[in-house]
Amino acid sequence: MVEKFLTGKDYAEGTAAKHFFFSSIVMLNIGVLMALGTSMRLAWPDIFPNDIPWLHFGRIRPVHVHFVIFGWISMAFAGAMCYMTPALCKTRLWSEKLGVWNCWAWNVGMVFVFFTLINGMTTGREYQDLIWPLDAFILLFVFAPLAVNIWMTMFRRKAQGLYVTLWFFGASLLFILLSYFIGAVPDFFPVTGLSEAYMTWWHAHNILGLWITPVSAAIAYYIIPKVSGNTLYSHKIGHLHFWSIAAFYSTPGAHHLMGAPIPEWLKSFASVSGVLIMIPALAFVVNMLMTMKDKWWMFTRSIPLQWALTGVLFAIPLNIQGAFQQTRALNWYIHGTHWIVAHAHLALLGFSTFIEIGAIYYGLPKLLKRELYSEKLARLHFWMMAIGFLGFWAVLTAAGLVQGAAKVYEIPYIQSVVATHPYMVGRVLFGALIIFSQPIFLYNMWMTARYGKKIVPEATVHTPAPATA
């Protein structure tokens, strides 16, 4: 009965994916605009009137983080899932209707997220900041319907076997539901002190490792073979990647708490088990780079490939940096400094965002059945992001080292704040390049929808799938 209602008299194929992709670009624009506010606050603390609480650093920062993670990245994931899953399963999305409602509910949820956080209604637990009614909303109306839709599409597939991308999509939806539910437990039960801190960081770590990392990788597994025309280098390595993420990623959650008074054995365990994350990281990068064999000339020619491959290349320094920074000696040096913020952006802006933008440049014109409105604007977007991000990452990494040195030489904290001021200004300037490139992205996609040259019907969502396992 419910199934009949959801799948009968459905929207046209690809409607849900289009909704999600456009919404995600809007979220990206809002998210980075908030970042302008936070970064200006850190460069010039009195730049905004201090008697307006909505402009305080502590209010804008969580809005930035939530809009980029749960707005931009996660909605782009939903768009990619609604587009790629039917294509790989050689069928329709189980329910376009459910997908479209899911997308609107998600947008409404983000409006609540904005108003609660900006008004200071928060649990104060990073990456789990939302008050419990919103946590319940996100579980029930955001992630659960998405999971049902994607799982049902896989269940009804007409293709034989499941390509690696689908393994990751299917499992990550289960991971995010479980992790989000467990992460919200302190909202409902009196879990306090170190237990609360540990649960918070275990959950935050899983959002990164069992949601953002695998789904970004899954998207790259789709786009790179598809655009390059090569088959995936190795399905076996793909499976190694999948199982090693599932097995090793959630165990080192405590490496975010190396400076906290949690048990010593837990810190050592987290630090050592964290090295095992190098296995999926290496498997992914090797598989993607080898898939490009003999096709590297396409790197600069194809816009989606340029974005996706740049994201894959950022995964190399990201994971090397991660593995080193969790050793106890190094972590003491850089914990709580701008180095970590640089690492966080290398992960979510460099590695993940570049891959998602590649997916949108690839998928959205196909869904709209139109050619990209302007290749020049897409190139401008890429270079503004690439230069902006590299500069952003470099100044923050340097600032982190300065703060670390201040710790070693026991220099009063305020002096390190003064010493890092030029780097904070540098972040605003490089950040501005990233921020002002996003309206260009939105404009280009909007114009593609309105005025892009129509393409012949063969390029629908039912494009042939990359070789299945």
Phi, psi of 454, deg, nearest 5? -65, 140
- Among 33, 144, 279, 340, which residue sits at the site for ligand HEM (rule: CB under 6 A)? 340
241 is an interface residue for ligand HEM by CB under 6 A: no
The answer to whether the CB of 270 falls within 8 A of the CB of 251 is: yes
Burial of 70 (0-12, 13-18, 19+ CB in 10 A): buried
Please calculate the CA angle 129-130-134 and round it to the nearest 5 degrees.
Answer: 165
Q: Does 208 bind ligand HEM (CB under 6 A)?
A: yes
Shortest distance in whole angstroms from residue 330 CB to ligand HEM = 9
CB of 295 to ligand HEM, least distance (A): 25
Asked if 366 interacts with ligand HEM (CB under 6 A), we say no
Stretch that binds ligand HEM, among 163-171, 238-246, 431-439, 450-458 (CB under 6 A): 431-439
User: What residues between 127 and 186 interact with ligand HEM by CB under 6 A?
Assistant: none
61 scored as a contact of ligand HEM (CB under 6 A): yes
Nearer to ligand HEM, 322 or 466 (CB): 322
How big is the site for ligand HEM, counted in residues (CB under 6 A)? Answer: 44
CB 287 to ligand HEM: min, Å? 16
Member of 194, 323, 390, 405 binding ligand HEM (CB under 6 A): 323
Q: Which two tokens stand for residue 264?
A: 């010593």
Helix (H, G, I), strand (E, B) or coil at 454: strand
Which residues, 6 or more positions from 449, have their beta carbon under 8 angstroms from its beta carbon?
A: 22, 368, 370
Question: Distance (Å, rounded) from C-alpha 259 to C-alpha 364?
Answer: 44
Residue 65 touching ligand HEM (CB under 6 A): yes
Nearest approach in angstroms of CB 381 to ligand HEM is 13
Interface stretch with ligand HEM, choices 117-125, 155-163, 336-344, 366-374 (CB under 6 A): 336-344
Q: How far apart are the first and last CA of the chain?
A: 34
Span from 32-40, 179-187, 233-241, 400-408 in contact with ligand HEM (CB under 6 A): 32-40
Buried b (16+ CB within 10 A) or exposed e, 10-45: bbebbbbbbbbbbbbbbbbbbbbbbbbbbbbbbbee
Exposed/middle/buried for residue 177 (C-beta within 10 Å: 0-12, 13-18, 19+)? middle
Q: What residues make contact with ligand HEM under the rule CB under 6 A?
A: 32, 35, 38-39, 42, 61, 64-65, 68, 72, 126, 208, 212-213, 255-256, 258, 274, 277-278, 281, 318-319, 322-323, 325-326, 331, 335, 340-341, 343-345, 347-349, 351-353, 427, 431, 434-435
